[in-house]
Amino acid sequence: LMPQNDVPAVQDLPAWILTQLPNMSFSAHMYASEPQERWVRVNGRRVEEGQEVEQGVRLLGIEPQHVILVYKGQEISMEALSEW
């Protein structure tokens, strides 16, 4: 399943981003049709859409199989329950 809007997967990003991106470990993924009910657990913290995951990394959206993050203006797609 491809993420929406052709957002690149984390492993396909340019090296300058990969070397700076903080470690993220997703341990829970709650997708719901109502946006306010969506959340993920990352690095032990519950994060909702629009909130910051780690320094400079914001959670843009939670999809059924992916999360969409933004870091320094670059949108990033990560599979649900993955680690970086």
Question: Given pLDDT bands bounded at 50, 70 and 90, which one contains residue 6?
Answer: confident
Q: Give the tens place of pLDDT for each residue, 31-56.
A: 999 999 999 999 999 999 999 999 99
pTM of the model: 0.87
b/e map of 41-72 (b: 16 or more CB within 10 Å)?
ebeeeebebeeebbeebebebbbeebbbbbbe
Predicted confidence band at 5 (pLDDT cuts at 50, 70, 90)?
A: low
4 falls in which pLDDT band (50, 70, 90)? low
